[in-house]
Structure 1
Amino acid sequence: MPTDYTARTLLLEGADATAFAQAQFSSNVQSLAIGTWQFGAWLDAQGRVLALFHLARLADDVLLLLLRGGDAASMAQSLQRFVFRSKVKLTVPEPRALSTGPALDTYAARREADAYVLGCGDHSMVIGASQPDDAWRQPQIDLGWPWLPNNTLGALLPQALSLERLQAVAFDKGCYPGQEIVARLHYRGGLKRHMHCVVLSRPIDSGTVLHRSGENGIQLLDVAGDDASIQALAVIDDGLIHAIENVASIDTDEGLSLRVTQSWSA
């Protein structure tokens, strides 16, 4: 199924909003200044990414999450179990149109009338625009900013998505779900899957799993482009990359070829 790029958001409000987010999410939320955003993730106990998001601090006690895949209502319901006596309110606004805005400094966040604008350098993302568009997708694939199809939620470790590079994972803060496993991979290594930017020989749905010699070594994330040039972010097994590192393209069992143009470590 094609990926849904509607803006699905979650608001955390209250005196303990930042402390709650700091304890639950993998990024260093306490370092986030008002009027800025950072990448963040919510992990399960095994360190796998349940949600990836832009986390914006709109006020001292207000945080806004823009999910890069997944369902905000389900995430809020799961998070609610950890609120206990914390002074934090979780609100799930209705899904809104997501569109491309003018250039704005990366990590800037601001409100414009009823919309929220997140700066991404040579463009911005507008939550609540009058009309949706997806022109932001191609430059973000070039940047290595993944959008997670439903079949990848709870299946991938942060390092496989290059989240350390995006500063979505902090190692100098207190504990959070999955922190021990993620830190062990960071300091000791051992991960055998990494993210790459690839050019595809033909269109295919985001989230597709591709096989080579019967093994499912290629997980496509988001796919963008037209018939002339189709690019995607893909998590590929290191063994497969090493086996074909001198080959111009990877031919899959599905009759699709892909060419690696850029690779990212953790």
Structure 2
Amino acid sequence: MTTDITEPSLWENRGGYAPLEHKRMIRISGSGTDKFVQGQFSQHVDEITAHQSLRAAACTPKGRAYCLTRFVRDGDDLLMDVEDSLAERALGQLRKYLMLFRGTTMEPLDQAQITGLIGQLAARAVAGEEAVSLTNPGQVLATSEGFLIRIEDMPGPVARYEFWQTGGEPVVPQELEQLSSDDWLASSIAAGVPWLTEATTEAYVPQMLNLQHLQGIHFKKGCYTGQEVVARMHFLGQLKKSLFRLDFQGSETAPVPGTKILGGDKSAGEVVNSVMTGTDSGTVLAVLRHDAAEKTLTIDGNNSVILSRVKLPYAVPEREETAQTDT
């Protein structure tokens, strides 16, 4: 169980790191690398550079995300991360398209390590004083040992980073506190950054997960698998539900992904991610219908759990547009 890592004041003068053992790093290499990625992911590959890392989604032909990832440029290759529990399924789907690119490979890096870092102190411990040059999400600093990536801040703001190493001994900043996996997941929820699970893969169009506000969708890049659905939802203003953050009290266990959330006596949405932050409290990311989000929300089958909305650290203007349309 985590301490309440979502409290910004805890991190003003301290740093922490967490080995992200739930993530698997993949290397895509060969002459068809960029064309393959351009045709399968929601991000424009030309904007992934040595200095800029971007998020992306891979979707089914119906526009449902089965992989949420981040790309990092490593020479002529691209590195990406996948949830370890979903890796075989996601890579299996991608390899159906990779077969069209002779000489291009997509392989897990068994010796790779991704470390999550919270606070600028942690970034400097790993990459030196140059770490302070990373001021915006997605910026990359290459070091002799790996790639330091500034990712989305927690509210406060409190800086967060990932350090990607393709091999060698994992960098462990001994002077810093080692955080638990739940600590890191709680920081991701506080930052409004979702991840997929078995229960949510192929359940949502990327915009429902707010990926357009997390540097994850390029709406003018041209065709990729699922692009027609994603583009239509964007350009026709058809987004009716999206990702919200909720805190909960009154339960010793976190609601599992896929759990229904009710608005009154009707379905309002589902839990996407959740983690405990106290003995009977925790935090959640949930996809909710915009027209139900202001109602009293409860967990289906457990009315004793108190849910409260928490503002995300970024704007989701589509919600306001939906509200204006419905009035």
TM range (shorter): 0.7 to 0.9
Alignment partner of 2:80 out of 56, 65, 78: 65
Deviation at 1:155, TM superposition (A): 0.7
- Report whether the alignment pairs 1:251 with 2:298: yes
Question: Tell me, what secondary structure is at the counterpart of 1:136?
Answer: helix
- Report whether the alignment pairs 1:153 with 2:201: yes
Look at both structures and tell me which one has the larger radius of gyration over its CA atoms.
Answer: 2
Deviation at 1:172, TM superposition (A): 1.2
Deviations 1:30-87 (A, max 9, x none): 111114310111011011111101111121x211111257522332222222121344
Task: Report which of the two has the higher share of helix.
Answer: 2
Aligned to 2:278: 226
Question: Tell me, what secondary structure is at the counterpart of 2:217?
Answer: coil
Percent identity (aligned)? 21
Question: Tell me, what secondary structure is at the counterpart of 1:81?
Answer: helix
Question: Tell me, what secondary structure is at the counterpart of 2:196?
Answer: coil
Tell me the C-alpha RMSD between the 2 structures. 2.8
- Report whether the alignment pairs 1:6 with 2:22: yes
**Ranges in structure 1 where 5+ consecutive residues have no aligned partner:** none
Aligned to 1:167: 215
**Ranges in structure 2 where 5+ consecutive residues have no aligned partner:** 1-19, 124-130, 154-158, 173-177, 319-327
Separation in structure 2 between the aligned mates of residue 251 and residue 238 of structure 1, nearest angstrom:
16
- Report whether the alignment pairs 1:195 with 2:210: no
1:227-242 equivalences under 5 Å are 227=279, 229-242=281-294
- Report whether the alignment pairs 1:52 with 2:68: yes
Go from structure 1 to structure 2 and tell me whether the alpha carbon gap of 1:76 and 1:251 turns closer, same or farther (over 3 Å shift).
Answer: closer
Separation in structure 1 between the aligned mates of residue 140 and residue 256 of structure 2, nearest angstrom:
28
Separation in structure 1 between the aligned mates of residue 248 and residue 68 of structure 2, nearest angstrom:
24
Alignment partner of 2:260 out of 184, 187, 210: 210
Deviation at 1:108, TM superposition (A): 3.2
Separation in structure 1 between the aligned mates of residue 258 and residue 220 of structure 2, nearest angstrom:
35
Go from structure 1 to structure 2 and tell me whether the alpha carbon gap of 1:10 and 1:97 turns closer, same or farther (over 3 Å shift).
Answer: closer
Query: How many equivalent pairs are there?
Result: 257
Question: Tell me, what secondary structure is at the counterpart of 2:115?
Answer: strand
Aligned to 1:185: 233
Deviation at 1:171, TM superposition (A): 1.6
Deviations 1:176-219 (A, max 9, x none): 01111111111112232111111111341441412426644331
- Report whether the alignment pairs 1:119 with 2:150: yes
Question: Tell me, what secondary structure is at the counterpart of 1:139?
Answer: helix
Amino acid at match of 1:241: A
Query: Runs of 4 or more off by more than 6 Å in structure 1?
Result: none
Separation in structure 1 between the aligned mates of residue 112 and residue 198 of structure 2, nearest angstrom:
19
Deviations 1:101-142 (A, max 9, x none): 323523134566665543225122235646874343333222
